């Protein structure tokens, strides 16, 4: 099992343990046991449970190169645009922001996730 496969197996086991017992009860050791993975290698690759989340984020398809065969995940920015922050208009569960009313340079024009446009001009695309 190569490192990427090992990481995916440990992360899957960790998420299963966390779902059943809660994040506070999760440790690298409990995830390794649940996944039937060798503990020394798990501790070497994941020094603590926070490393599980960090590695999970790295395994996601974000931050990958733009190249043939790669998932297209990026946002298009108009560096010449300006916009005014309005908390109620942000794509967030919270409407409050310390930047309310500030005029900021640059604006996201579109967001692409795995080759599909997910937002355009501030609106979610279904």
What is the chain's percent helix, strand, coil content, to nearest 5?
40, 25, 35
- Model pLDDT for residues 114-126, shown as the tens digit of each residue: 788 988 887 788 6
- Model pLDDT for residues 66-96, shown as the tens digit of each residue: 778 877 788 899 989 998 999 888 777 777 8
Residue 14: half-sphere exposure toward Cβ, Cα within 13 Å:
24
- Residue 14 reports pLDDT greater than 90: yes
Per-residue confidence (pLDDT) for residue 64, from 0 to 100: 67
Per-residue confidence (pLDDT) for residue 10, from 0 to 100: 95
Query: Could you give all domains of the chain from N- to C-terminal order, each with its CATH number?
Result: 3-59 (1.10.10), 74-124 (2.30.40.10)
Q: What is the pTM of this model?
A: 0.51
């Amino acid at each position: 099992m190569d490192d990427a496969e090992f990481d995916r197996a440990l992360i899957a086991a960790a998420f299963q343990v966390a779902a059943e017992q809660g994040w506070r009860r999760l440790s690298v050791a409990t995830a390794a046991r649940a996944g039937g993975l060798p503990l020394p290698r798990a501790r070497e690759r994941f020094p603590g449970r926070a490393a599980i989340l960090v590695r999970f984020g790295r395994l996601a398809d974000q931050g990958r190169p733009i190249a043939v065969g790669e998932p297209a995940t990026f946002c298009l920015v108009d560096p010449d645009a300006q916009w005014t922050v309005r908390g109620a208009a942000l794509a967030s569960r919270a409407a409050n922001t310390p930047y309310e009313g500030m005029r900021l340079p640059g604006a996201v024009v579109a967001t692409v996730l795995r080759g599909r446009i997910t937002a355009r001009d501030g609106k979610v695309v279904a």
